[in-house]
Amino acid sequence: MQNPMSHPRVSVICTYLDAERFIAESLDSVFAQDFGDFELILVDDGSRDGSAAIARAYAERQPDRVHLLAHPGGVNRGISASRNLGLRHARGEYIAFIDADDVWPPAKLGEQVALLDAHPQAAMACGVVTYWASWDGGVDELVRTGGTVPTVLPPGAPVALLYPVADGAAPSPSEVLLRRSAVEAVGGMEDAFRDMYEDQVLFTKLMLQFDTCFSHRDWLHYRIHDDSCTAVARRKRQYLHRRRQYFEWLQDHLRRHPAQGTPHVARAVRRELRLLDWPLLWKLNWRCQRLRKALKRRLPSAGSS
């Protein structure tokens, strides 16, 4: 009899590096899904703590569904190379990433599969993210990807609206569901992006070539903590370097694929690279943008009493 997991609808890929603090909670949220037609691919990116033993325990409990991978020699190669390793072994029609510190609501996969099934031209489904600080006593914030109402946007349109190019909230890797054929068509992740903007590079490639679905559903608890990649990069003062890497990549990508670009996006890229030549000016511009957003939220709308 054929193994029912030989052709799962969804391949869930979890890459981890020294994640023993949170990984069990993340994996439990995967197995708590209302939708059960998935395989789980766990990729060890050179861990030196107990997270590999935790991952191995899940694989031993469900060997037909959970698959363990690592780089040769157990080396650390970064998030993109690790996700690409998972992608090469994925068998599902759809791809879902989950970071080893994030948590999914139970309806996440089922709702997303239904949405992409209904929109076969779309490569990605995005929704609402709970920026989850209450796990550690903070205050949660709900952020709608793109700030849009539920809709389907055509190729290119989301790039001009979303971070990093614009102000709209960008997708989170643990939030989205991706069509595997589309991910393969754009060449997967870019290995040069080890720890930041690796997700936005893939999403940009997909949004430039395919439709993108946006939903009002909350599909992720994104854990806020001091050891996240973004927090570490800011502490090490690497954020602007990583940001420049993304915009230089996008500029080169649009040169190689001119039909995918628009004058608006090209201008935004040139402007950002000019600002990044002057870090103090970039920071001043960023603070002004934050202030404008804060004032806009506080001001009453036109016509209100």
Q: What CATH number did the domain enclosing 152 receive?
A: 3.90.550.10
Quick one: 140 and 172 in the same domain?
A: yes
Quick one: 63 and 84 in the same domain?
A: yes
The whole-number average pLDDT for the span 262-268 is 93
Quick one: 130 and 113 in the same domain?
A: yes
Quick one: 22 and 150 in the same domain?
A: yes
Q: What is the mean pLDDT of the chain?
A: 91
Nearest CA to 50 out of 73, 70, 21, 30 is that of 21
In this predicted model, what pLDDT tens digit does every residue of 134-185 receive, in sequence order? Answer: 999 999 999 999 876 789 999 999 999 999 999 889 999 999 999 999 999 9
Strand, coil or helix: 51: helix
Dist. CA 108–CA 239, nearest whole Å: 30
Dist. CA 275–CA 65, nearest whole Å: 48
Dist. CA 205–CA 161, nearest whole Å: 15
Nearest CA to 90 out of 171, 27, 5 is that of 5
Cα end-to-end distance, the chain, whole Å = 69
Quick one: 170 and 92 in the same domain?
A: yes
Residue 186 lies in a domain: yes
Quick one: 157 and 285 in the same domain?
A: no
What is the chain's length? 305
Residue 54 lies in a domain: yes
Quick one: 31 and 136 in the same domain?
A: yes
The whole-number average pLDDT for the span 45-52 is 97
The pLDDT confidence band at residue 2, using thresholds 50, 70 and 90, is very low
Residue 223 lies in a domain: yes
Paired residues of 224 in beta bridges: none
Backbone angles phi, psi at 84, to 5 degrees: -65, -35
- Tell me which residue range forms the domain holding 260: 241-298
How many independent structural domains does the chain possess?
Answer: 2
The pLDDT confidence band at residue 294, using thresholds 50, 70 and 90, is low
Residue 254 lies in a domain: yes
Residue appearing with tokens 């589309």: 182
